[in-house]
Chain A
Amino acid sequence: MKQYDVVVIGAGPAGLAAACEAYQNGAGKILVVERDKEPGGILNQCIHNGFGLHYFKEELTGPEYAGRFIEMLNNTNAELMLDTMVLAVTEDRKISMINPRDGYFTVQAGAVVLAMGCRERTRGAIGIPGTRPAGVFTAGAAQRYVNIEGYMVGKKVVILGSGDIGLIMARRMTLEGAKVAACVELMPYSNGLNRNIVQCLNDYGIPLYLSHTITEIRGKRRVEGVVVSRVDGGGKPVPGTERFFDCDTVLLSVGLIPENELSRSAGIALDPRTKGPVVYENMETSIPGIFASGNVVHVHDLVDFVTAESQRAGAAAADFCRRKEQPGGEPAVAIESGENVGCTVPQHIRPDRIDQYAEVFFRVGRVFSNSEIEVASGGRVLSVFKREHMAPGEMERIVIPKKFLENASGGAVTVSAKEAKEN
């Protein structure tokens, strides 16, 4: 069985950054396994710009952003195995895979980084009533057809959900000559980045219907239209508010789900809220030596943060296989989600393993204007972060100083969000 120091599963932005960083941190033999015929992951079909503002301080397209990391990877001794599908990962870090060149084989890894990304929620997951004609696509599948294959998926479009891919596709379809009749969002706020609402809908006069949903898809063989209804506060359609939209295509942008079939098969603990692995500060999962980063852990808005998180995972993976003896057993502080805060990542922090501070990411449960994020422990407020605006569609990042974590009472701190106190 071939041995590697670090095996990275996935050559999207997470895998590429993790592999480069593992190399920088002294990992000797690195293998990156990618299912597709090219590295870059989903960035390859994201031909719009807006990537890299944080990391490179400039605006790149998806393929350009990926390209920079591919080039970095090419300057390492990491082995990139394309067109190869990982079928199983075991607790003791044996990885079985298959490809047309080598058939079925297994390698042994000193450390593993899981970087499989996420998949899109489908029509079946949300149960849209109506017929089942062709012309209902997830936004990402449509993006692949348009940007990679060079084919249009429709002429008159209604978009359900205001996730970023849906918004980007609203603009893309418009630029390719299609008519986007509406973007329909169940929630009273958008789930996408504000800049995408402005640049992809507003700039093209595409109406956004908040608190609305598609209550029926019509059409025999191909979509012929959709019925859109307003929903009440509980998300239930309000009778009498039905409106018919003539369209031949429905694009769904109704959420992304981390792809954790391999994690599950390895026996890694998953968080039911993120649907990704429970991770420590260095992106280590519940199984020592198996790390995870990027959208396989939790769905990000910006690739720049995927990169940062994956660099942490890559460095930690290199560190793990360099050590002869694993420390283990250090105390860990649980990061708990308080009021209005969805799941945090990481969920646990070992203060002994961090330098000065630890980064914590999460989403809030509703839209806030002037607000505060509060970190508390044992009823004592440790620190407060001011925010002018927060929304579920935009991931929040805070840093918690090491000393707060060392002194956390009961081994836990709670992160919560609330309206700012009036001055």
Chain B
Amino acid sequence: MFDVTVIGCGVTGAGIAYELSRCEISVAVVEKQNDIACGTTKANSAIVHAGYDPLPGTKMARLNVEGSKRMEALCRRLSVAYQRVGSMVLAFDGADLKTLRELLRRGNANGVEGLCILTKEQALNMEPGLNPEIAGALYAPTGAIVNPWGLAIAMAQTAVKNGAALYLNSPVRSISDRGGFYRIEAGENALETRYVVNAAGTFADKINDMAAQPFFRILPVRGEYYLLDKCQGGIVRHTIFQPPSKSGKGVLISPTVHGNLIVGPTADPADGPEDTGVTAQGLQKVVKAALRSDTHVNFRESIRNFAGVRAATATDDFIIEASKDAPRFVNAAAIKSPGLSAAPAIGPEVRRILESIGLVCRAKGNFTEYRQPPLFKNMTKAEQAAALSRDPRYGRVICRCETITEGDILQTLRGPVPPVSIDGVKRRCNAGMGRCQGGFCGPRVHEILSRETGIPMENVEQDLTGSRLLTGETKTGGGAE
């Protein structure tokens, strides 16, 4: 019997599990995929919003600002890449300037620090590549960028290291109240748990409906992106937004913590919770919109396109509350943007809610963070020498675009939640994230993964279950069957 079971291990579920694993309670996390952070968490803008967008008084506003304030220290503790680059919202005309003043007002009401409206000259001075036609900009010095999947993995690994039980490959089929506890059937597992937290992202409505009265629907919104080569990573130094509209925060241009440039997203109704395809029209929209902010972005340097699905709902706020009809059942749902920014605050919020409905959370005496191991390329000379003497395979570069060594890859396999797929390795150490997109290192990572885990070569997956790369061995008899 678990005290709490968290359903879903994206950045929201991982953040909740991380917070709960600080307490003297038993925690389970069930995740339907074969790894952590496989949904919205791995396909978003990778931005920590300062918190001037959400309407004052909403949960979204409070948790965005609180999350943004907690993010830097959290990332430092877990060794997750984070940079406070600051952000700008551009105005192109008088109407936009009015919007900026409204954002400034909201931001001040929400407690965002350091906001100010820049003149056109000030903005161009700070960011010379911007469209000289801009009329001004809202500057938010607390805007930041982060590695979203890295954060989720680090929090989930810390939770596991502190005793949480993670059940991967476990889609939830049913949740039944057995009077005082729930029984959850998830994949091959049947779990008993006193409390349930629904952090199922784009599937959160379905999970809610298994235990409680339906009261919200996820209306998934698809956002398409370009990721550009590192040679474009310095085009802008800040995250550059356009004025928000009804359909969202618009197309942004931003450096990423990995040194690339991210451009997007669109906001179109998705055809289901996993509709992460990109379209010619969507990508064109991104290009057109981005060039309005900065004409220097060179889309010929694209290294990847992707789309993420956001768990939007008819209302504008997050749904983070105890269920009104199902006892001991808490929703952490409708976590659309700024969900990543709010993640460091959502865990503590859910803990407070659980405590308010009877869960006793005593702090654990021996809680320890699982710091993400440093990549060889980021080590000091002395650390590199020590790593090499510990394992000479730190001297073998496998991913040449990102300079990731075999030692780095082996290190991911020793973590509390080791990767089982090639993209799982990528999410943990960046191998294959560079300009050749795994063209060179893919087969080598494949071999290492197979060798170290015992998964036969043919069974190694690119990413999720069902994404096998190989269909069998080549013939050995020169074509004879």
By a beta-carbon cutoff of 8 Å, the part of chain A in contact with chain B is 35, 83, 85, 87, 98-104, 119-120, 122-125, 127, 129-135, 138, 140-141, 144-146, 148-155, 175-177, 215-216, 220-222, 237, 248, 261
Contacts and interface: CB of A to CB of B under 8 A. Distances in A.
Looking at A130, A215, A248, the one whose CB has the most chain B CB atoms below 10 A away is A130
Contacts of B388: 100, 103-104
B168 interface: no
Nearest to B394: A100
Nearest to A140: B439
B468 A134 contact: yes
Contacts of A132: 276-278, 306
Interface string B442-457: 1100010000000001
17 contacts: A35-B400, A85-B396, A87-B397, A98-B395, A98-B397, A104-B388, A120-B439, A124-B302, A125-B303, A127-B283, A130-B278, A132-B276, A134-B461, A141-B438, A149-B443, A151-B472, A152-B473
B277 A129 contact: yes
B239 to A, nearest CB: 22
A151 B474 contact: yes
Contacts of B131: none
B305 to A, nearest CB: 5
A127 B305 contact: yes
A124 B280 contact: no
Given A101-B392, A133-B467, A177 B475 contact: yes
Given A104-B381, A122-B436, 9 more contacts: A104-B388, A123-B304, A123-B437, A129-B278, A140-B439, A151-B473, A154-B471, A176-B475, A220-B466
B395 A135 contact: no
Q: How many of chain B's residues touch chain A, expressed as a range?
A: 35 or more
B25 interface: no
Contacts of A98: 395, 397, 405
Contacts of B458: 151
Given A135-B469, A149-B443, A152-B473, A104 B395 contact: yes
A35 B443 contact: no
Given A104-B384, A129-B277, A222 B474 contact: no
A153 B437 contact: no
B258 to A, nearest CB: 14
Contact of A153 (B394, B447, B470, B475): B470
A151 B457 contact: yes
Nearest to B397: A85
Contacts of B466: 220-222
B403 A102 contact: no
B462 interface: yes
Nearest to A153: B470
Given A103-B388, A119-B440, A129-B278, A152 B395 contact: no
A141 B439 CA distance: 6
A215 B468 CA distance: 23
Complex A-B, nearest 7 residue pairs according to Cβ-Cβ distance, in ascending order? A221-B466, A124-B304, A134-B462, A134-B467, A85-B397, A100-B392, A100-B395
Contact of A149 (B401, B447, B465): B447
Nearest to B229: A125
Given A130-B278, A141-B439, A152 B462 contact: no
B319 interface: no
Looking at B280, B306, B394, the one whose CB has the most chain A CB atoms below 10 A away is B280
B53 interface: no
Contacts of B468: 134, 222
A103 B303 CA distance: 31
Contacts of B457: 149, 151
Contacts of B302: 124-125, 127
B227 interface: yes
A175 B403 CA distance: 36
B176 interface: no
A303 B433 CA distance: 30
A56 B139 CA distance: 66
B279 interface: yes
